């Protein structure tokens, strides 16, 4: 039926769960419903939740998001950050080229189509006259990437106001 965004008591996104698990948390009083489907009813008196908030704060250890090709593509929405091409094949481009001391860090890698990557070559975007659509940044968590993907795909627009500090535009 659907997935539900789980927020901590502080309104920070914690998890995405099933609607059944969310209903159990609501019925046990462990969470409160913040957003609901307008038309989907579980019972005559219960609408299907889409966002719930835990009543008690849960401390979660901080884990940095690993820098992988898959994560970079997902962060950038599988779109070339130079020309906006959406399709295959895509590659990873270093904003400051490795030949000029550019590091393999979130803030220096971006998604590029092959023609743009070749055209840019060993130059910076400014030198090549190819401005980036969006400056590359480290995503906070894998949950951030997943919620942004679902919002971008039009699946859960109501999640957008709870995913604080994230860019909703894919370029």
Q: Tens digits of per-residue pLDDT, 72-107?
A: 998 898 999 999 999 889 999 999 999 999 999 999
For residue 169, the model assigns a pLDDT of: 36
CA–CA separation, 171 and 77 (whole Å): 8
For residue 1, the model assigns a pLDDT of: 57
Q: What is the pTM of this model?
A: 0.65
In the block, tokens 């038309």 appear at: 39
For residue 43, the model assigns a pLDDT of: 65
pLDDT digits (tens, 9 = 90+) for 22-78: 999 999 999 999 988 766 666 666 778 999 999 999 998 877 788 999 999 988 989
Q: How many residues does the chain have?
A: 171
Q: In what order do the strands lie in the sheet with 46-54?
A: 13-18, 3-7, 46-54, 31-43
For residue 41, the model assigns a pLDDT of: 66
Residues 92/114, Cβ–Cβ less than 8 Å: no
For residue 4, the model assigns a pLDDT of: 93
How far CA 3 is from CA of 8, 43, 54, 155, in Å, comes to 16, 18, 16, 10
CATH number of 69-128: 1.10.30.50
- The residue among 171 and 21 whose pLDDT is bigger is 21
With vertex at residue 108, the alpha carbon angle to CA 103 and CA 111, rounded to the nearest 5 degrees, is 125
pLDDT digits (tens, 9 = 90+) for 13-35: 899 999 999 999 999 999 999 98
The set of residues, in sequence order, having a beta carbon less than 8 Å from that of 62 and lying 6+ positions away, is: none
pLDDT digits (tens, 9 = 90+) for 107-144: 999 999 999 999 999 999 999 999 999 999 988 777 87
Could you state, in order of their start, the residue ranges of all structural domains in the chain?
3-61+140-162, 69-128
CA–CA separation, 167 and 171 (whole Å): 10
Q: pLDDT band at residue 164, thresholds of 50, 70 and 90?
A: low
Give me the phi and psi of 125, to 5 degrees please: -55, -35
């Amino acid at each position: 039926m659907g997935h539900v965004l789980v927020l901590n008591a502080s309104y920070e996104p914690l998890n995405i769960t099933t609607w059944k698990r969310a209903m159990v948390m609501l019925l046990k009083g462990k969470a409160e419903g913040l957003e609901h489907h307008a038309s989907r009813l579980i019972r005559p008196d219960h609408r299907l939740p889409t966002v719930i908030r835990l009543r008690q704060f849960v401390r979660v250890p901080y884990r940095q998001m690993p820098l992988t090709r898959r994560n970079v593509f997902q962060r950038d929405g599988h779109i070339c950050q130079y020309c906006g091409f959406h399709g295959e094949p895509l590659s990873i481009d270093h904003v400051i080229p490795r030949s000029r001391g550019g590091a393999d860090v979130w803030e220096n890698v971006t998604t590029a189509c092959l023609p743009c990557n070749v055209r840019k070559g060993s130059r910076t975007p400014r030198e090549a006259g190819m401005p980036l659509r969006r400056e590359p940044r480290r995503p906070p968590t894998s949950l951030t990437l997943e919620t942004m993907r679902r919002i971008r795909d039009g699946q859960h627009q109501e999640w957008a106001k709870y995913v604080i500090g994230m860019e909703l535009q894919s370029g």
